[in-house]
Amino acid sequence: MLRETLSMVRDLPRLHEITSVLIRYGWGDFVRLLGIANLLERAGRLLHWKTTNEITQLDLPVRIRLALTELGPSFVKLGQILATRVDVFPASWIVEFEKLHSNVPPVPFELLQGELERGLGDSVDNVFLAFDREPFAAASIAQVHRARLPDGVAVVVKIRRPDIHAKIDADLRILTHLARLMELEMPDMRRYRVVQIVSQLQRSLLRELDLAKEARNLEAFAKNFENDTSVHIPRVYWEYCSETVNVQEELIGIPGSQIARAEAEGFDLKLLAERGGNAVLKMILLDGYFHADPHPGNVIYLPGNVIGLIDFGMVGRVTDSRREQLIDFLQALIQKNESGMLNVLTAWAGDVEIDEERLAYDISELIFGYDNLGLKDIHLGALLNEVTALMRDNQLTLPPDLTLLFKALITLEGLGHQLDPDFHMVDQLTPFVSQVLEARYSPKALAKRAKNGVSEMAEIFFGLPRDIARLFRRARSGRLRIDLDLKRLDHFGQQLNSAANRLTMGVLTASLVVGSSIIMTVEGGPELFGLPFFGLLGFIVAFFNSVWIVLSIWRSGKV
């Protein structure tokens, strides 16, 4: 508790900045509800509760996007993660969050040069044959410059923005604290797993801050596609890479957003759509490691109708167990199997209380809408959007790893439709699902699962006597302990402790008043202003105690 308190005091300037922006964009009630304003006002950082009329006339999603943009890299990344939460936010919100992918103003190279040369271990002119000091692209955490290595190879140099680490650390501490407060003070927010979202943000930011991590991601994907000539992953030049600098091959081709140009230059758009879909489905269903942000800005069309992929800062992983669930879900979607979809969705919901009857009815309604459609008429992106809307209506949320995956599939199908109006992800999905199912039920896979199951059962059986003996030993020695994790219990204890302190001070104050009144009636002893000194002192102390109690109650919002 002491460490958390000291941390909040250290972060007060940043907390004041965040709170001021939230209030300016119309989130004053939210700030009051969490009690942040009381903390800042007690610290002497008074807030101005003003929201301009121009801002209040904007739609709520627009105001949130503008606030996140103004608050900087951590909050921009938070908005990008929220853009994947199609299971929580309606389409109008997702559209605004997706705008946070746009470029941000670049940093002058002079401010980056020191960071770059520390990462390279030498001066820019000594390392590169040529270096373009005008940025090629700028993002919230790093910006990119074109350059040429001594052998003339064209590369892009990604440089982390200076002094960004400390600010992001402070933002993460504040967001973690606020997320816990939200789940404590607003029970309805618990189903959105706010603490889990902030934890996901923390992992994502720490990965992106380490530019060497992105280089390792590039190498992992390159290895997965080393036998596939239809997909190209940039080469990493490790001798120039560090935590703050990433040097990789420049892919020279047509950006994914310039489809008309690609068509004019003779690219086969249908083939590009097919290859892009196959690449992402292979990542998800076969490799279990996928590019989580395949939007047009991260795709390059290369000669020979080759798909080039860049920016591997945001990647997703699919565990074996999650992949099994995903295959079951996709199989149920393709086969229009209601009970199969129900089983998977209830598994994804975790320990949240579910109205299974209503959920089953909603799934039946969803399936009925696609009952007479063939595979070629089903748009996977629209179907996934309907599934996530169904989950929102039933107050269910997807696990964070699946939100990234769903978003990647929806984004990919949108890009495929831009290339080929007849593109259908389901057509490409079916062979992958069949391939995975065949592998799942192959004799080798069944034998492996049987062996693992027997091993686990044997471990449980032979370990049971040891576990029972340990349980009894702890019971005999009085060291048997049962941990209960009850929501809001710590918060309730703090409130109870605060109330007890105020009650104790009230009793002491009353005692001082009674004792001082008695002393006032006794003659003799030292006097001050013609009154007994100790009686007057008691009244003064009682007065200040009373003021403290009144202020304490007022600050707690109980008046």
Cα torsion angle, 222, 224, 227, 232, sign:
negative
Token duo for residue 247 = 């040097």
Label residue 530 exposed, middle or buried (CB < 10 Å: 0-12, 13-18, 19+). Answer: exposed
Q: Are 400 and 317 in contact (CB under 8 A)?
A: no
Residue 159 has φ and ψ, to the nearest 5°, of -125, 130
d(C-alpha 109, C-alpha 117), whole Å: 12
Closest CA to 39 of 20, 74, 15, 70: 15
Closest CA to 364 of 389, 382, 343, 338: 338
Q: Are 236 and 248 in contact (CB under 8 A)?
A: yes
**Over the range 220-246, which residues count as b (16 or more CB within 10 Å of their CB) and which as e?**
ebbebbeeeebbbbbebbeebbbebbb
Token duo for residue 231 = 């997909």
Distance (Å) of CA 5 to CA 8, 17, 36, 174, 489: 5, 18, 13, 11, 19
Token duo for residue 492 = 């309730």
Closest CA to 330 of 453, 440, 450: 440
268 has catalytic annotation: no
Residue of 87, 171, 293, 311 with catalytic role: 293
Query: If you ran DSSP here, which 8-state letter would residue 160 be given?
Result: E
Strand 154-160 to strand 245-249: parallel, antiparallel, or no bridges (unpaired)? Answer: antiparallel
Distance (Å) of CA 472 to CA 475, 479, 484, 557: 5, 10, 20, 49
Closest CA to 92 of 102, 101, 82: 82
H/E run at residue 47: none
HEC string of 260-321 equals HHHHHCCCCHHHHHHHHHHHHHHHHHHHCEEECCCCHHHEEEECCCEEEECCCCCEEECCHH
- Rounded to the nearest 5 percent, the helix, strand and coil shares of the chain are 65, 10, 25
d(C-alpha 556, C-alpha 559), whole Å: 8
Any idea which residues carry the catalytic annotation? 293
